[in-house]
Amino acid sequence: MTLAAAGPGFLSPTGVEIAFVLVGLATLGAALLTVTTRQLVHAALWLVAALGGIAVEYLLLTAEFIAWVQVLIYVGSVVVLLLFGLMLTKAPIGPSPDADSGNRWAAVTVAGASAAALVWIVADAFRTTWIDFGGAVQGSTEVSGRSLFRYWVLPFEALSVLLLAALVGAIVLSRRTGAKGAAEAVAPGTAGEERR
């Protein structure tokens, strides 16, 4: 087994490692900019960069299907949703000096401390673990689809129900109460049917 097999040292990186680290640094930088920038729309755009970087990392980890799903779902829809949310809440376009709240230094402390603790624990635990990319392909669409529809059908279907519920919930939450009240005033029976 290759589980416990010690790989090559850190001082002789492979090409994949170099690429991973570089992309990872870019991703981390984009993420940091996302949480620190004072321009709200820029934050969304930096989030696109960070999520895209993570997609590249997925690719480097040979999980190609996940990578494309990442690009599709996150970059394609989630960020668009967030941008819509920013617009609907009338977020200022330019830099807003009050983007950070008052407990920023507490947040820095907590985040820094957790980062230090987790990095220390993770590095201590996995410093000799080596991922072997040889062998069968792991993350192709075919492999993923097969395992998904062979072993994970039931959770998959349950998840579809969850998505439906979230969809209905989002619609109910974001409907204007004034319009609903007017609809009820016009046709209370129909409105009741709809709600049910």
Partner 1 sequence: MTLTTTAVLVPLLPFLGAVAGFLTGRRSPGFVRPLAVLPTLAAAVLTVAVAVGQGAGPATDVATRLTPTGSLPIDLALHIDGFAALIAVLVGTVATCVQIYSTAYLRDDPRYPSYAALVSLFTSAMLLVVYTGDLMVLLVGWEVMGICSYFLVGHYWETEAARAASLKAFLVTKLGDVPFLFGIFALAADTGTFRITGILGHIARDGLHHPTLIALLLLAGVAGKSAQFPLHTWLPDAMAGPTPVSALIHAATMVAAGVYVVARLLPVFAASAAALVVLAVMAAVTMVGSALAALAQDDIKRVLAYSTVGQLGYMTGALAVGDRGAAVFHLLSHGAFKALLFLGAGVVIHAAGTNSLAAMSRTGGLARRVPDAFWTLTVALLALAAIPPFAGFFSKEAVLGAAEHAATGHAAGIPGAAGWTVLLSGLLTALLTAAYATRLWLLAFRGTGPEAPDHGPQPLAMNAVLWVLFVPTVGFGLTAPLLPAWFDGRSLAPGATTSVLGTGVALVGGLVTYAAWRHTSTRAARAPLGAVAAVPDVSPAVAEEVAIDVHTPAYGDIAGAPDPADPGRLLLGPLHRHAAAGFHLDAVYTALFVRPTRAAATLVRFLDHAVVDTYVRGAGAAPRWLGAAVRRAQTGNVQTYLGALLAGALVLAIAAVLVATGTGA
Partner 2 sequence: MHLVYPAVLAVLLFCTGLYGVLARRNAILVLMSVELMLNAVNLNLVAFDVWLRDTLHAGQALTLFTIAVAAAEIGIGLAIVLLVYRNRGSSDIDRLRDLAERPAGPSAPDGSGSADGAPRPDTGAEATA
Binding residues for partner 1 (CB under 8 A): 101-103, 106-107, 109-110, 113-114, 117, 121
Residue nearer to partner 2 on the CB measure, 93 or 106? 106
Let me know the angle formed at the C-alpha of 16 by 114 and 26, rounded to the nearest 5 degrees: 50
Q: Which of 141, 147, 187, 188 binds partner 2 (CB under 8 A)?
A: 147
Q: How far apart, in whole angstroms, are the C-alpha atoms of residue 72 and residue 55? A: 10
Distance between start and end Cα atoms, the chain: 56
What does DSSP assign to residue 72?
I
Q: Is the CB of 125 or the CB of 186 nearer to partner 2?
A: 125
Distance CA 177, CA 179 (A): 5
Give the nearest distance from C-beta 189 to partner 2 in angstroms.
Answer: 26
Compute the least distance from the CB of residue 38 to partner 1, in Å: 18
CA 133 from chain center: how many Å?
25
> Site mask, partner 2, residues 54-83, x = CB under 8 A?
x--xx-xxxx-xx--xx--xx--xx--xx-
| Binding characters for partner 2, 88-117, by CB under 8 A (x = yes) | xxxx------xxxxxxx-xxx-xxx-xx--
Q: Which of residues 15-54 bind partner 2 (CB under 8 A)?
A: 16-17, 20-21, 24, 27-28, 31-32, 34-35, 40, 43-44, 47, 50-51, 54
Q: Report the residue number, 109 or 160, with the smaller CB distance to partner 1.
A: 109
Identify the DSSP state of 110: H
**22 binding partner (options partner 1, partner 2, none; Cβ < 5 to 8 Å by kind):** none
Of 45, 41, 132, 141, the residue nearest 92 (C-alpha)? 41
Please, are residues 43 and 34 in contact by the beta-carbon 8 Å criterion? yes
The length of the chain, given as a count of residues:
196
118 scored as a contact of partner 2 (CB under 8 A)? yes
Taking the least distance from each CB to partner 1, the nearer of 87 and 107 is: 107
The SS3 call for residue 150 is helix
Binding of partner 2 by 142 (CB under 8 A): no
